[in-house]
Homo-oligomer: A and B are copies of this chain.
Amino acid sequence: MSTNDLRVGVVGAGMMGADHIKRINATIAGATVSAVVEPDEQRRAAALATAPGAEGYGRLEDALDADALDAVLIATPGKFHTPVLLPALAAGLPILCEKPLTQDPESSWEVLEAEQATGRRLIQVGFMRRFDPEYAALRELIAAGSAGDLLMLHCAHRNASVPDSYIQPMLINDSVVHEFDVVPWLAGGSIVNVEVRAGKRNSLTPDRLREPILVLMELDNGVIVDVEMNVSIQFGYQVATEAVFEKGVARIGQPGGLQLWQDGAFRIGEHADFTTRFATAYDRQVQAWVDAARQGGIDGPSAWDGYKVAVACQAGVKALESSGPIAVELPPTPDFYA
């Protein structure tokens, strides 16, 4: 344990938590996992085996009482976020909370109030796309204005397949949720309405799902956005965006790396899932958060960003079951987040 390393307590030792424990100890500078908080004993033990020097706890409160950590990384399922966020805020610790902030606008608002009560922005939400080099490059291009103003965004969000636990509303809450954060971040406006169109169903999608869907958004700066949300496309994992400017077009998320000519075709391997597509984004996100947390702050999407996404998701889920645009209504931005 370093005297100046950030002591990170990871809450939730499922797939995502285990991945973060490995990342912090193996690839992040200036941080060490000091505590693993996981009620399930078996999972906790397995995680501790990969985190030399870390202590295990069943509840965050116990880890806090033991002064076992300087910062909290929350990797539990979304429905368990609030009960972890509140004591972490109460303890005044920097927090990296995997998306979503919480599962609905009401509980997210409650978290906003708790954060404001601390007088400091302590919560960073894990919308890692903002740390992807290509998303960052596209945002710079938009900001530079060298291609003129941004007019439209065409997004494609494609998964080869989804697990049995994936149900219809997750098309919005687990998948489009990323576009709800990254699109305003790119385009510099906020979402005013959302429409969902479901056309021909993919016969390879599980019976419980009706997809792919086409999600249409309008931003308050006039930018139009369409998102193809697709979770059974078989060929691989692809997250791409085409930005239409006044004088040009930009595209990110295209294939790269080793090129191979074989069996009658030129080919470039495509990603199989998000772990490779966004590996760099996850590393950069956690490094940025660790660097900021060592100064007691955050460096990424705020709790307010998390709240706005929760409101958009609520409208999106409604749009899933209706036709035509559903309005996205936000309260005024609290001064604290202005």
Residue ranges of A at the interface with B (Cβ–Cβ < 8 Å): 1-5, 24-30, 32, 53, 133-134, 137-138, 141, 146-152, 154, 156, 158, 197, 199-204, 212, 214, 216, 218, 221-224, 226, 228, 230, 232-236, 238, 242, 244-252, 254-270, 272, 287, 291, 324
- Contact check, A199 vs B224: say whether CB atoms are below 8 A apart: yes
Q: A199-B224, A200-B151, A247-B233 are in contact. Are A32 and B261 (CB under 8 A)?
A: no
Q: A5-B2, A204-B148, A223-B200 are in contact. Are A258 and B251 (CB under 8 A)?
A: yes
What is the distance, in angstroms, from A293's C-beta to the closest C-beta of chain B?
Answer: 15
Closest to A201 in B: B222
Q: Which of B154, B224, B251, B272 contacts A259 (CB 8 A)?
A: B251
- Contact check, A256 vs B258: say whether CB atoms are below 8 A apart: no
- Chain B residues lying within 8 Å of A24, measured Cβ to Cβ, are 29
Which of A25, A32, A146, A224 has its CB near the most chain B CB atoms (within 10 A)? A224
Closest to A133 in B: B257
Q: How far is the CA of A158 from the CA of B154 in the complex (A)?
A: 14
- Chain B residues lying within 8 Å of A257, measured Cβ to Cβ, are 133-134, 137, 252, 256
- Contact check, B138 vs A258: say whether CB atoms are below 8 A apart: yes
Q: How far is the CA of A234 from the CA of B246 in the complex (A)?
A: 8
- Chain B residues lying within 8 Å of A224, measured Cβ to Cβ, are 197, 199-200, 214
Q: How far is the CA of A256 from the CA of B199 in the complex (A)?
A: 31
A-B pairs, top 10 by smallest CB distance, nearest first, are: A2-B2, A200-B222, A199-B224, A248-B262, A256-B256, A255-B266, A234-B247, A267-B267, A265-B267, A251-B259
- Chain B residues lying within 8 Å of A291, measured Cβ to Cβ, are 26
Closest to A272 in B: B264
- Chain B residues lying within 8 Å of A234, measured Cβ to Cβ, are 148, 246-248, 262
Q: How far is the CA of A53 from the CA of B287 in the complex (A)?
A: 20
Q: How far is the CA of A28 from the CA of B254 in the complex (A)?
A: 29
What is the distance, in angstroms, from A86's C-beta to the closest C-beta of chain B?
Answer: 31
Q: A29-B25, A222-B199 are in contact. Are A266 and B270 (CB under 8 A)?
A: yes
- Chain B residues lying within 8 Å of A199, measured Cβ to Cβ, are 151-152, 218, 222-224
What is the distance, in angstroms, from A40's C-beta to the closest C-beta of chain B?
Answer: 27
- Contact check, B32 vs A2: say whether CB atoms are below 8 A apart: yes
What is the distance, in angstroms, from A274's C-beta to the closest C-beta of chain B?
Answer: 15
Q: How far is the CA of A247 from the CA of B261 in the complex (A)?
A: 9
Q: A199-B222, A199-B223, A266-B268 are in contact. List 8 more A-B contacts (CB 8 A).
A: A2-B5, A27-B287, A151-B202, A234-B246, A235-B262, A251-B260, A252-B258, A255-B261
Q: How far is the CA of A156 from the CA of B249 in the complex (A)?
A: 11
